[in-house]
Amino acid sequence: MNIIELYQAYPGFLLFTLILVGLIFGSFLNVVIYRLPIMLKHEWTSQCKQYLEIDDSAAKVSPYNLLTPRSQCPHCHHLIPAWQNIPVISYLLLGGKCRQCQQRIGFRYPLIEILTAGLTVVLYFQFGAGWQMFSAIIFIYFLIILTAIDIDTQLLPDQLTLLLLWIGLLVNTQMLFVPLQEAVLGAILGYLSLWSIYHLYRLATKKEGFGYGDFKLLAALGAWVGWTMLPVIILLSSITGVIAGILMILSRRHSYTNPLPFGPYLAIAGGITILWGNDILDFYWQLVSLA
């Protein structure tokens, strides 16, 4: 019995595999979310020193990337052994605390692992096993990383948004989600739509309403789902953003004068659209035909 026959005979084993893979990748996404902003900060600092001709050749710089150094407690910097780094399970066994210093470890780590595993299963049931599912998994994993980084830093790194855009165009050369022409138009119109709103808002209020990272993220979403889905994404992201903003203001967790990152709401809308965008459009046209 090969692996495909095994999965066909025991669907529960397939479900277990999908959850396990999702948890493992979720742990890796946590690494990217935590380390990528630090890596970018190091890179920008180095570039500024070069531009200002500051000689820091004598400074000893330890390598810092997605693999080095090993995982450690953010409080006491105690190196975390492998058995304490098992997705979700280690968090539960340690009671959500560092074994060395007993400081609380953020609940977001297991939350992202569980979310990644859950969405992996949802994508399988939505698309079935195949290239469309694997492509959608890449899309959703990117959105999870971008959402968390934007919440933490209010940054949407070009290293992620532009890569997501090019991957979207690449997968749609095979028309996995939309024809390539729709994908190219989606990227162009996605960028220009927020770019136009940004400049109109700035002319009217002398303030900036969006960041350029939001333009690039919407362009990337358009490259995946096509230009016809852009109104759905903009509408969904606006609704979720307004609701979340009102709830945070009412709970006094956010002031209306402080900027609110828009990237997470674009990402949520993009995820909903790639899963159920056609169903949403069909429902809308049914309502229009009944009106």
d(CA 169, CA 171): 6
Q: How many residues does the chain have?
A: 291
Cα dihedral: 208, 161, 271, 88 (round 10): -110
Looking up tokens 């893979």, which residue turns up?
21
Residue 283's pLDDT is 86
**Over pLDDT 70: what percentage of the chain?**
92
Packing angle between helix 212-225 and helix 263-290, nearest 10 degrees? 50
- AA letter at 213: G
Q: Convert the pLDDT of each residue in 94-145 to its tens digit.
A: 888 888 888 888 889 999 999 999 999 999 999 988 899 999 999 999 999 9
Residue 274's pLDDT is 96
Alpha helices in 154-229 (DSSP H): 158-171, 180-205, 212-225
Decide if 61 contacts 68 (C-beta within 8 A).
Answer: no
- For residue 24, CA distances in Å to 155, 166, 173 come to 25, 25, 30
| Termini Cα distance of the chain | 55
Q: Convert the pLDDT of each residue in 13-67 to its tens digit.
A: 888 999 999 999 999 999 999 999 999 998 888 888 888 878 776 666 778 888 8
Q: Is the pTM of this model over 0.85?
A: yes
pLDDT at 257 over 80: no
**Long-range interactions of 48-53: CB distance < 8 A, separation 24+:** none
Residue 3's pLDDT is 65
Residue 33's pLDDT is 96
Residue 253's pLDDT is 64
User: Quick one: average pLDDT of 155-172?
Assistant: 96
User: Quick one: average pLDDT of 194-222?
Assistant: 86
pLDDT at 4 over 80: no
Tokens of 203: 């002319």
Q: Is the peptide bond preceding residue 264 cis, with omega within 30 degrees of 0?
A: no
Query: Domain boundaries in the chain?
Result: 1-128, 130-291
For residue 50, the 8-state DSSP code is H
Tokens of 228: 């016809």
- For residue 31, CA distances in Å to 19, 40, 44, 113 come to 19, 14, 20, 11
- AA letter at 56: D
The average confidence (pLDDT) of the chain is 88
pLDDT at 224 over 70: yes
For residues 164 and 257, the model is more confident at 164
Residue 270's pLDDT is 96
CB half-sphere exposure, 140, CA atoms < 13 A: 26
Residue 260's pLDDT is 77
Cα dihedral: 219, 224, 228, 229 (round 10): -90
DSSP 107-120: THHHHHHHHHHHHH
d(CA 222, CA 230): 6
d(CA 75, CA 102): 9
Decide if 169 contacts 183 (C-beta within 8 A).
Answer: yes
User: Quick one: average pLDDT of 213-227?
Assistant: 96
d(CA 164, CA 187): 11
pLDDT at 91 over 80: yes
Packing angle between helix 263-290 and helix 230-250, nearest 10 degrees? 120
Q: Is 49 helix (H, G, I), strand (E, B) or coil?
A: helix
